Amino acid sequence: MSSHREAPEISKDPVADSTDVYAFVSPKKPDMVTLIANYVPLQQPNGGPNFYEFGDDVLYEIHIANSGKGKADISYQFRFFTQIRNPKTFLYNIGPISNINDPNWNRPQFYSVTRVKNGKKKMLAEKLPCPPVNVGPRSTPDYAKLSAQAVHRLGKRKVFAGQRADAFHVDLGSVFDLGGLRPFNEAHLIPLAKMDGINSVQSYNVHSIAIEVPIKEVTRNGKLPSSASAASAVIGVWTTAKRQKSRMFNDATAKYESKGPWEQVSRLGNPLVNEVLIPMADKDKWNHTAPRFDKRFARYVNKPELAVLLPVLYPKVFPNLAKYGKNRADLNAILMTGIPSGVVPGFQNYTGPVESDMVRLNVAIKPTAKPNDLGLVAGDAAGFPNGRRVNDDVVTIELRAIAGLTIPLVDPSFKPDAAASAVTDGTKAKRNARGTNKFPYLNLPGGGYQTKPGTTKAS
């Protein structure tokens, strides 16, 4: 979850498995936008000697739709290649890695960045070094320095690709144990003792691709919008990973070879859509489908299974939700089209009638000085579902939305159940790898040596 191992096929292919997408106006630079796509989920930091890395045979992309058609008007492509400096050792590093070009690092990874607009490709940079993973105090004694060296400036843009702490938080252990929410354990159909939520992602790392670009570079008219009501102020963002159509094991080299055109095997826009809303039998198809064809999946948003399950799993807690039989126009707006003007005073992130799962960001809305992790539903229009910031508590926001809290936005006759504004998985902010206020905004990854299963701190 948010999209960690969310579909049968991609759960077997971690390097191509997108986990989270973030899109927000850069906190200290309101003329810049930051886009982040995370991959390679649930990395235990001590997973050597073959530590985690991006796939050399995967095409990673971050897409922006700005014309209201749900299609990629602009894409940033990232391709990686890995080098083995010393083929005679089994070690990831043969001494301390003091900088990202240190020859002691035996398996450096590099990448290229290409911008695609209107089908035309322009390579922005190549051979950019990633940082190593955080091995431990002997191997990567100054990880903050390595991380800083891996932030590359490409003109006005910044880019980073490498390991970070996963900022997402969720109680996977309880949620997937028949929809359990530990703070509400006593009210569950199969009751257990009430307790705080446990962040299942705590201490795990991911691999992040982060790019910060001028807002003017991604808007439809090439301008920095001044009015939040303008259609040109809204962009849709999602990520995809593609593999070549054919993959064959070469028995001569003992390696896989790929041939053929690129096929999408993973995609991610809004958190939890494929994870929670799309049925298991359709999840792989969803991952292979472009957002502009999401109309075929709209019924799963309009009649979400979880909204039916909540009143069953928590008897007498959601009586009003149980009786609500209409399509969930609120969820459709939040996840599939954006929220039109007139629903939330002074706010819109509508991208038109094409139903497509994208993180929609109104770039004319300035960053909030003191962000509220509950975002728009808590009155903070700079947060989810207006884009997504690193610290936004998307699990709580979406749980409450599915529980009916947002129905009155489109159907004032509905009165949400009292529990709808309280429901949460109970994961606590203090146990999460909070984001930082500096690019790439995700915190340093946990170190391998420092790992103590179940108790490791994020950094």
Partner 1 sequence: MGRPRVKAVELVTDTSRRKLLAAAGAGAAAGAVALAPGAAYAAEARRSGNSAQESVVAHIKDHRSGTISLMIGEREVVVQDRDLVTRILNAAGGK
Contacts of 190 (CB under 8 A, 6+ apart): 178
Strands lying side by side in the sheet with 157-165: 18-25, 32-43, 205-214, 157-165, 152-154
Nearer to partner 1, 264 or 341 (CB): 264
Nearer to partner 1, 250 or 455 (CB): 250
Interacting stretch for partner 1, rule CB under 8 A, among 16-24, 89-97, 286-294, 389-397? Answer: 286-294
Q: Which of residues 292-351 bind partner 1 (CB under 8 A)?
A: 292-293
Total number of residues that touch partner 1 (CB under 8 A): 17
81 scored as a contact of partner 1 (CB under 8 A): no
- With tokens 């994208």, the residue in question is 358
Interacting stretch for partner 1, rule CB under 8 A, among 26-34, 242-250, 347-355, 393-401? Answer: 242-250
Helix (H, G, I), strand (E, B) or coil at 364: coil
Q: Is the dihedral of CA 364, 370, 373, 379 positive or negative?
A: negative
Do residues 357 and 269 lie in contact, with contact meaning Cβ atoms separated by under 8 Å?
yes
Tell me the C-alpha distance between 290 and 267, whole Å.
8
Nearer to partner 1, 219 or 287 (CB): 287
261 scored as a contact of partner 1 (CB under 8 A): yes
264 scored as a contact of partner 1 (CB under 8 A): yes
Q: Name the nearest CA neighbour of 209 among 250, 164, 171, 176.
A: 164
Do residues 194 and 182 lie in contact, with contact meaning Cβ atoms separated by under 8 Å?
yes
- Site pattern 190..229 for partner 1 (x: CB under 8 A): ----------------------------------------
Contacts of 263 (CB under 8 A, 6+ apart): 242, 243, 244, 245, 288
Tell me the C-alpha distance between 217 and 75, whole Å.
11
289 scored as a contact of partner 1 (CB under 8 A): yes
Among 257, 366, 415, 428, binds partner 1 (CB under 8 A): 257
> How many CA atoms, within 13 angstroms, populate the side-chain half-sphere of residue 110?
11
101 scored as a contact of partner 1 (CB under 8 A): no
246 scored as a contact of partner 1 (CB under 8 A): yes
Helix (H, G, I), strand (E, B) or coil at 5: coil
Q: Name the nearest CA neighbour of 110 among 72, 141, 155, 80.
A: 80
Q: Minimum distance from CB of 279 to partner 1 (Å)?
A: 18
Nearer to partner 1, 176 or 256 (CB): 256
Which run of H or of E encompasses 401? Answer: helix 394-402
Backbone phi, psi, residue 116, to 5°: -120, 125
Interacting stretch for partner 1, rule CB under 8 A, among 79-87, 155-163, 183-191, 258-266? Answer: 258-266
Interacting stretch for partner 1, rule CB under 8 A, among 26-34, 162-170, 245-253, 320-328? Answer: 245-253
Do residues 437 and 421 lie in contact, with contact meaning Cβ atoms separated by under 8 Å?
no
Backbone phi, psi, residue 206, to 5°: -135, 175
Nearer to partner 1, 149 or 246 (CB): 246
Among 245, 295, 326, 366, binds partner 1 (CB under 8 A): 245
Q: Name the nearest CA neighbour of 160 among 219, 105, 118, 109.
A: 109
Among 88, 122, 127, 259, binds partner 1 (CB under 8 A): 259
Do residues 399 and 271 lie in contact, with contact meaning Cβ atoms separated by under 8 Å?
no
Q: Minimum distance from CB of 281 to partner 1 (Å)?
A: 17
* Torsion from C-alpha of 90, 137, 209, 32, nearest 10 degrees: -160
Q: Minimum distance from CB of 246 to partner 1 (Å)?
A: 4
Nearer to partner 1, 49 or 279 (CB): 279
290 scored as a contact of partner 1 (CB under 8 A): yes
Q: Minimum distance from CB of 77 to partner 1 (Å)?
A: 13
Q: Minimum distance from CB of 411 to partner 1 (Å)?
A: 31
Do residues 175 and 197 lie in contact, with contact meaning Cβ atoms separated by under 8 Å?
no
Q: Minimum distance from CB of 7 to partner 1 (Å)?
A: 15
262 scored as a contact of partner 1 (CB under 8 A): yes
Nearer to partner 1, 98 or 244 (CB): 244
244 scored as a contact of partner 1 (CB under 8 A): yes
120 scored as a contact of partner 1 (CB under 8 A): no
Q: Give the interface with partner 1 as residue ranges (CB under 8 A).
A: 240, 244-246, 248, 257, 259-264, 288-290, 292-293
